[in-house]
Chain A
Amino acid sequence: MANITIQNVHKAFGEVVVLEDFSAEFRDGEFVTLLGPSGCGKTTMLRMIAGFEKPTRGTIKIGDRVVTSPDTFVPPERRDIGMVFQSYAVWPHMTVYENVAYPLRIKRIDRDTIQQKVEAVLEIVHLAQYAKRIPSQLSGGQQQRVALARALVAEPQLLLLDEPLSNLDAKLRDSMRFEIKEIQKALGITVVFVTHDQIEAMTMSDRVVVIYKGIIQQVGKPSEIYRFPANQFVADFVGKINFLHAMIDGTKLLINGTDQSLAYRGPLSGSVVVGIRPENIRFDSKSNDLTGTLLSQFYLGDVNDCRIDIGGQVIRVIAEPSTFETHKEGDVVKLRVEEFTTFMDDSFDDHQKIIT
């Protein structure tokens, strides 16, 4: 078990900067997720922790041991790390047992101990009866558990997971999510998990590091990231959100194109963007928060998915299913806003994404 300390890690491939002055501290036994769109540098960061890439500058410590610094570089095979690869990387010419036993064989552990440990870890990942199979006889999910068992068998101080769920089908992904989380809790191991899937990040992590264009956007618990996103990118990438352009007038947020306003207390002034999650808007005939015209509604069973025009800006509202019966397209509706966040208007334009 170990803390991971990353100090000012910078990585460039030639001219292209992949990570800029990345600093973070992952605590012992913590499940940390590096979350971001593809190409944001999250996998590169993970591979630098593993030692497959060398940072251009900066220091990485695992526990008290400096593994990467300007004058030290410990190769991956000496870092005592377990890792699950996106492609699983289960060796096709070895049986499940041989795959899982491999890290122990490298350590020259005696045969009986190896057998005992491999059997124990196969038990944990529910593969005990498959020990003699070769990987091509296993399903994707099973191969993935072989990779997990192999990463865990040597009881590493740190487990790295590189998008391990992305090649699984939706159902299997759900169950593996919980299994991995259970195993991590049971073993109390430090985990660094890389994904572009915000649901995986939200459900599994103790803390999430949101990365975009090689820069850390926000670090926090899943609920903090969701409720208090640091900027428009985070708000948009994690979950669904509506952005309304507005002006601050004292304690009022004047929604552009309307004479409507929301109450505001905060440090910002001038032109801003108001972020409202679709589930934080309710149809409420007694409310005075916002008024708009219902453009379209889609009955999805558990919710009514609506588009509402507010002075030329269209927002999405996820309303109670019963509202589908009580309202029709073209109605003027009153809305109550339960929670919103405000950002400086940095002309970030991903407005279309949420509507479509």
Chain B
Amino acid sequence: MVKAESALATQKKYFDPKWLIMGVIIGFLVIFQVFPLLYLVVKSFFPQGSFSLSAFKRVYTYKMNWDALKTTLITASATMVFGIIIAFPLAWLVGRTNLIGKKFFRTLFVTTYMVPPYVGAMAWMRLLNPTVGTINVILMKIFHLESSPFNIYSIGGLIWVLTGFYFPYAFITISRAMEKMDPSLEEASRISGASPLKTLAKITLPLMLPSIVAAALLVFVTAGSCYGIPSIVGVPGQIHTVTTRIIDFVYIGTQEGLTDATTLAVFLMLIANIVLYVSTFPLAKKQFITVSGKSTRPNIVDLGRWRIPITLVVVIFAVIVVVIPFLTVATTSLTVNLGKPFSLENITMRYWERIFTRKAILSSAKNSVVSATLAATFGMVVTSMMAYLLVRTKAKGRKIPDFLITVGSGTPSVVIALALIMTMSGKFVINIYNTLSIMVIAYMIKYMLMGMRTVVSALSQISPSLEEAAQISGAGWFRRMKDVTFKLIAPSFVAGWFLIFMPCFYELTMSTLLYSTNTKTLGYELFTYQTYHSQQTASALATAILIMVIFVNWLLSRLTKGKFSV
């Protein structure tokens, strides 16, 4: 007894504050992420308190739902295939050849990753609208066509827009893997007598295969769980996806509607997380082959006489996928009458004036800034601590928070929002529905992974002995974090902060489900203007967001000396 007491006394004397902080954070994750998502799953199997598949049966016997499911699978698969077909050659050209302006192209394609996907939908809607779409009108004039050649409000249109905005996901994943690949593997093939093309086919491609698979599955999941694009270009043509169905069901507002939404959401969540989990297998297994400690300069393949033609193809691709949509949105924001061509008489600044003066927009912008700032700040606190737990301690289960954060990010936005609505509106003590808090929490669950990745990679590059040296010098945990560890990861911390801030700032999907009259956000505001009031105002907002994305990206690469952009 006496011994136990003295042990307690010494333990208390040297109490380590980090465990308390980590405990609080893990508690937070359990309450606001694990519980809601689990509740959603349980609820879909036990709709009336007892096990039953009736909800599934009802939802999936309804034809419209089956169609939505089919559309989701078709569009996501097609986007995945096209995305990879575009992304791999691009990544190779940019990373391994003497393509003209490859650095510029890299930045360009990476920047599109940061652009909200609905911007593309807005632009292509203007360009390929079956009756007044600019491209359609021009093509009809040139070729004297009876009817317009393209209709954006179709499955094809949906795939087109999805591919244009999700191939950068694959491009980034594949480029990074290619940068990490030991170039001497390719050099060994060249010295053995293989041509550059043969080397590409026999060495580079097989070694890249795990990353390509991972990239493909990532595109599949993100395209399948996207809401912004199908709601803008799908819904007007009566084309529904699982995400738009879920939001419809929630808007219906009845108990039955919620149950149906839950059932669909659980399906989407399970598919997304299983696919993402599976995609880490080939990567983890093959990593030892592709990753080498040394970072040598890759040998550059000379494109020879194909250099200029290939560069031209890439330029045309960039113009179609990036320049035209962005310009369309920008010009739309300046156009008085959308029915008339863009000319000097048809230009106005009134929509730009409106977005900076109208009270409703400003208050939504303020809400977005506040909630994105809070999400980014708390998100970085959470992820830094969890990254520290993962990298620096030997605590049992230290990988669990990392896993939770990964699952959160893999879970479609609609599902996160739905889960929070069902559990955080007073049914279980906590009621934060209709507040900014629920928005901040939803954003954190969805976007914390970006912060986690940056901090984990920064921490694993710092030798633990730097911290131990401070400890042996007499510094307690807070002190050595402040003096050594935090100082050394500060650039990554800032980068991580922006990587969480940006997508939260223009977030649409979760905001659509979680907003209240006082907590409208910029994304939601933009969406309502686009669908109901004024496309020009929406375009002005989108353009403003675009400019901000480009600026933040530039700031980030300056801040971290090119280590982080995206």
Contact = CB atoms under 8 A, between A and B. Distances in A.
Given A71-B7, A73-B14, A92-B488, A86 B474 contact: no
Contacts of A151: 472
Interface residues of B, number: 26
B466 A91 contact: yes
Contacts of B466: 89, 91
Given A50-B472, A106-B473, A71 B463 contact: no
Interface in A74-123: 74-83, 85-87, 89-93, 102-103, 106-107
Given A71-B6, A78-B14, A106 B479 contact: yes
Interface of B: 3-4, 6-7, 10-11, 14, 16, 463, 465-466, 468-476, 479-480, 483-484, 487-488
Contacts of B470: 91, 102
A75 B16 contact: yes
Could you say which of B10, B463, B465 has the most chain A C-beta atoms within 10 Å of its C-beta? B465
B465 A85 contact: yes
Interface of A: 50, 52, 70-83, 85-87, 89-93, 102-103, 106-107, 147, 150-151, 154, 160
Contacts of B10: 71-73
Contacts of B488: 91-93
A85 B11 CA distance: 28
B3 A71 contact: yes
Given A86-B465, A91-B466, A92-B488, A75 B483 contact: no
B131 to A, nearest CB: 62
A45 to B, nearest CB: 16
Contact of B471 (A70, A75, A80, A93): A75
B469 A93 contact: no
A102 B483 contact: yes
A87 B463 contact: yes
Contacts, number: 76
Contacts of A107: 474
Nearest to B6: A71
A164 to B, nearest CB: 12
Contacts of B11: 73
Contact of B473 (A72, A73, A150, A160): A150
A82 B472 CA distance: 7
Given A86-B465, A106-B475, 19 more contacts: A50-B468, A52-B468, A52-B471, A70-B7, A71-B4, A72-B7, A75-B16, A77-B474, A78-B14, A78-B474, A81-B472, A87-B463, A89-B463, A90-B469, A106-B474, A147-B469, A151-B472, A154-B473, A154-B474
A76 B465 contact: no
Contacts of A76: 468, 471-472
A74 B3 CA distance: 17
B473 A93 contact: no
Given A71-B10, A75-B14, A89 B473 contact: no
A147 B3 CA distance: 40
Nearest to A93: B487
A321 B191 CA distance: 48
A160 B473 CA distance: 12
B465 A89 contact: yes
Nearest to B7: A71
Nearest to A83: B472
A151 B472 CA distance: 9
A77 B475 contact: yes
B476 to A, nearest CB: 6
A77 B472 contact: yes
Nearest to B5: A71
Contacts of B3: 71
Contacts of A75: 14, 16, 471
Nearest to A160: B472
Contacts of B463: 87, 89
A81 B473 CA distance: 7
A147 B470 CA distance: 11
Nearest to A70: B7
A93 B469 CA distance: 14
A189 to B, nearest CB: 15
A90 B468 CA distance: 11
Contacts of A77: 471-476, 480
A269 to B, nearest CB: 50
B469 A89 contact: yes
A150 B473 CA distance: 8
A83 B470 CA distance: 10
A102 B473 CA distance: 7
A9 to B, nearest CB: 18
